[in-house]
Chains A and B, each alone.
Chain A
Amino acid sequence: MTESGGFPYPGGGRFVGARVKRAEDPRLLTGEARYAADIQLPGMLAVAFVRATEAHARIESIDVTEALSLPGAVAVLTAADLDVAPVPLPFEFDGLAAPPQPALARNKVRFLGEPVAVVVAENRYQAEDIADRVRVRYDRLGVVVSPEAARAADAPLLFEDLGTNVLFERTESAGDVEGAFAEAAHVFRKTFHTNRFVACPMEGRGVVAHYEPRADHLKVWSSTQTPFLLRTTLAAVLPYPEHRLQVIVPEVGGGFGAKMSTYPEEVAVAAASLKLGRPLSWIEDRRENLLAANHAKEQQITLELALDTEGQILALRAEHVGDAGAYNFNSTSCLIEPFIGARNLPGVLRLRNYEWTVVSVATNRSPVGAFRAVGSTPGSTTRDAFLDEIARQLGIDVVKFFRKNMIRADEMPYHQATGQVYDSGDYIGSLDQAVELVDYAGFRRRQEEARSEGRYLGIGFSPFVEATGWGSEIAKSQGLPFSSHDNASVSVDPSGMVTVATSMASQGQGHETSFAQVAADVLGVDVATVRVTQGDTDVSPYGMGTFASRSAIIGGGSVLLAAEEVRKKVLAIAAKTLEASAEDLEIADGRVAVKGAPQRGLSYPEVAAIAHWDLGVRSDDDGHRLAATRFYDPPATFSNGCFVALVEVDPELGTVKLEKIVGVEDCGRVINPMIVEGQSHGAVAQAVGGALLEHMVYDENGGLITSTFMDYLLPTALDVPPIEIAHMETLAPHTAGGFKGMGEGGLMSAPGAIVCAVVDALSPFGAVLEELPLGPEQVARMAGSLATEGGHS
């Protein structure tokens, strides 16, 4: 961990690496914070959506007569009333058939819950009453609820024009896969099917749109992770001039990827406000959130592994089949699960020969999109379960098996078979530290003793490498070539206080604190004199926003670079005023002074006043204005670590008690260890849900069974065990500040650790992983306590 003084700014280093209390907390702890649902504007109306009650049907007619006669009714708008373009692909992608989702269904609905009409009323109670009375007549079509069914020769087609439900199919390879398999001493093959689970932030989505026709100004408040991308997208599809469009992100109650993409509802609410010239508020309820916010994580993965006689991996084949849901609803959402999953499945393994096939298939289920550790959760979980099973069959300890096949620190930078270049890190060191933290040898003794008492303990390991800080370079190496534009501004006002404006947006990650720590150290001032603003496109410079562990690297990096510029200006002003050379000055504790002569110095307020008002010092070319905006598009950097789960399983009841989860994380220079640990803790809790509880279940008609929290189970304080996180700190060699991203590793890796631990506990029964999540029924079946039968959908 970075101790104070470790940050390379003379006189700084007080805040980066320290557990600085969060600037956000006082307002969040007292109810003062304002989320989307808390926004009230004069004359504001409420929106409710009429949603498809069929999973696949032609819309025959929409009758709004009765609905419009109800109290409070202002308007009911359908696709015929709101003429907006679908959200376009951000970049060309070879071979991708990408049918986008319209803002409102036109002619056809393709999944249960798809928005069909916008209801506008005086209040939300009335809006929901009215939505219930909009009569939509459907002509039912055949429904496909799995990729297998959707690929059948006579399957009903979601998009007749395409002639197929397969949206994408591509095989890539590196090395000599066939040759390696021909030489192999052992070949193993298995197909896994991972569960569909969702980000489910505690706050659903929310949009307030306010069009003022005479000012010609459209303001959109949205609980989005990407305010500028939303602005650009809205400008294109409404269409509306982008310079007259302002997106504001209020307090946001969690995102985890699910608030990254531009949703049809965001477009529809903005379009409705443009049409009506009134402020409108749509606050999603939980049923809508579970039905129609993006789903994630489900893949069918077939792995085939070639090994030599010593247990060394020679080659791997992987086929990832993704269930895209009903639309490539935005960007490349239908691809991200299987495509990123296959690219990242090799992870920490030293792999020369790899062949990977990616298939994405449209089905009549909710569209799939981003959720923390996109694509990697299924890939990592199945890889771990597969290797664990193979090690057991070969009689090799799984930790030894990993160690033998993992990339060593002396091989860095490492060119992975998939084309990614891992920049730095000691992956085996992370595994070894985890092994030590859980006292692996001691655990195995404890496990033996417990078994003799009829108790079943288990342990599972999952070392991971995490592509972080998605800038242009890493996106290209992941095969999804979008270019990044992120900026930060740092300015010192005439009173000497510092304002940072960033293109990132926070959903609880504490940006206002972490970015202030970076700026304070670079400028040599107290963190309390720095205020961070974000999430208002009128205030901040342009950027992509917060997703894919970007904020620390790109947000932190751009703040660092802009603050360095301002620091130079502060030194120049002070040098001119003090008649000294800038090289002879140092900054500490908010004061610039001549080295060795602290009495010859100026405070920040003095420097700021001079810079703004002193005509003798102020330059005409703006060179001394104490402000800078810097762009940052970082080189690729990869975090790494290892999660370990310790469990006790009751083979008869099928219950899993998590004893604890231990994680080692290396995310480069740590800005705020408290925040970093909190991110890991949260990711692990979601891993517990994904491994043991959470699963979106559909019936054969495309009906979602799990549309409430009574059926879709989120982990509570009784489900999540104590979590211990240890830090390693391998500075990123190429990024500003040495930062790497983090926050996703826990959900990439801990599900695999938990699954392997359950299998390990049940190894006396010959258990292997059959289906996910590991609910009591599945676990009892694995232990042989229940007869094996068909799995759930």
Chain B
Amino acid sequence: MTPPEERIVRIEVNGRPTSALVEPRTLLCDYIRNHVGLTGTNVGCEHGVCGACTVRIDGDIARSCITFAAQVDGGKVETVESIAPSTDELHPIQRAFEAEHGLQCGFCTPGFLITTQALLERNPDPSETEIREFLSGNICRCTGYVGIVNAVKRAARDLRDRGT
């Protein structure tokens, strides 16, 4: 078998230019984890269902386990590592998950945080139904979603208060 031809991929990850010589079949999640060295993006199912690996590609939420790195060549990606404003400080969404016990084992959490961030940018005051629908592509096995839904409500409130 001839090894597939490698190519250079350039992606801006969390505002920083990155590049690597990769096989065409390299998944975006593996590019982020292995080539960029950001391991906050967790891979839960590798077939696009569980949502743990959710990142933003040019602002849109996407599953990095069913996206090839080469598809994002020249694009911008944001991961969970981009959310906190600094090492000492959490983002209001992260603080809300902490306060409402919106996480237990933490494995699905990066995907939920990224998805919540996208929801609240689009809809700053979502109803409970809108929250549950928007998050229904992310699976959590620990929390029963109680703390997560409450955290999104709290984060929405905090971000609105901060905006005024």
Interface residues of A (CB under 8 A from B): 21-22, 24-35, 37-38, 70-71, 125, 129, 200-203, 251-254, 256, 285-286, 507-510, 674-675, 677-678, 681-686, 708-710, 714, 716-718, 720, 722-723
Contacts and interface: CB of A to CB of B under 8 A. Distances in A.
B28 interface: no
A709 B127 CA distance: 28
B47 A203 contact: no
B77 interface: no
Given A125-B25, A286-B46, A717-B145, A203 B40 contact: no
Interface size class of B (residues with CB under 8 A): 35 or more
A723 B106 contact: no
A26 B98 contact: yes
B145 A30 contact: no
Contacts of B97: 25, 29
Interface string B89-112: 010001001110101111111100
B54 interface: no
A29 B132 contact: no
The 4 closest A-B pairs by CB, nearest first: A31-B40, A508-B105, A253-B107, A28-B106
Contacts of B49: 708-710
Contacts of A31: 38-41, 79-81, 110
Contacts of B110: 31
B67 to A, nearest CB: 16
A714 B144 contact: no
Given A26-B98, A31-B110, A286-B44, A202 B105 contact: yes
Contacts of A28: 103, 105-106, 109
A674 B102 CA distance: 10
B42 A37 contact: yes
B145 A200 contact: no
B144 A202 contact: no
A681 B149 CA distance: 12
B62 interface: no
Contacts of A686: 141
A682 B142 contact: yes
B61 interface: no
Given A71-B3, A285-B46, A709-B47, 19 more contacts: A22-B101, A29-B90, A202-B44, A202-B105, A251-B106, A253-B42, A253-B107, A254-B104, A254-B142, A256-B141, A507-B105, A508-B103, A509-B104, A674-B101, A681-B143, A684-B144, A709-B49, A717-B136, A722-B146
Given A201-B105, A709-B49, A720 B144 contact: yes
B44 A203 contact: yes
B66 interface: no
A203 B141 CA distance: 10
Contact of A125 (B23, B103, B136, B146): B23
Given A21-B99, A37-B43, A681 B144 contact: yes
A682 B104 contact: yes
B47 A29 contact: no
B84 interface: yes
Nearest to A286: B45
Given A253-B42, A681-B144, A30 B104 contact: no
23 contacts: A29-B106, A30-B81, A35-B42, A125-B25, A125-B26, A201-B105, A202-B108, A253-B42, A253-B105, A286-B44, A286-B47, A507-B105, A508-B107, A677-B101, A678-B147, A681-B146, A682-B141, A710-B49, A717-B132, A717-B138, A720-B145, A720-B146, A722-B146
B120 interface: no
Given A256-B141, A286-B44, A508 B106 contact: yes
A717 B106 contact: no
B101 to A, nearest CB: 5
Contacts of B143: 678, 681-682, 685
Interface string B14-57: 00000000010110000001000011111111110110100000
B106 to A, nearest CB: 3
Contacts of A718: 132-133, 136
A723 B79 CA distance: 31
Contacts of B101: 22, 674-675, 677-678
Given A31-B79, A37-B39, A717-B149, A508 B47 contact: no
If over half of B's interface residues share one DSSP class (helix, strand or loop), that class is named, otherwise mixed; here it is: loop
B145 A708 contact: no
Given A30-B83, A678-B143, A682-B141, A202 B50 contact: yes
Contacts of A33: 40, 106
Nearest to A681: B144
B113 interface: yes
Nearest to B105: A508
Contacts of B90: 26, 29-30
B139 interface: yes
Nearest to A679: B104
Contacts of B131: 717
A717 B138 CA distance: 8
Contacts of B149: 717
B144 A38 contact: no
A589 to B, nearest CB: 25
Nearest to A26: B90
B9 interface: no
A674 B33 CA distance: 33
A32 B90 CA distance: 13
B93 to A, nearest CB: 9
B148 interface: yes
A728 to B, nearest CB: 20
B123 to A, nearest CB: 15
Contacts of B107: 35, 201-203, 253-254, 508
Nearest to B80: A31
A656 to B, nearest CB: 16
Contacts of A25: 97-98, 103, 106
Contact of B136 (A27, A251, A254, A716): A716
A125 B38 CA distance: 19
Given A682-B142, A685-B143, A723-B146, A254 B23 contact: no
Contacts of A685: 140-141, 143-145
Contacts of A684: 144
A203 B106 CA distance: 10
A21 B99 CA distance: 7
Nearest to B135: A717
A30 B144 contact: no
A252 B148 contact: no
Residue with the greatest number of chain B CB neighbours at <10 A, chosen from A31, A201, A253: A31
Interface in B110-158: 110, 113, 131-133, 135-149
A253 B52 CA distance: 11
Contacts of A683: 144
Contacts of B144: 681-685, 720, 723
Given A25-B97, A26-B98, A28-B109, A508 B81 contact: no
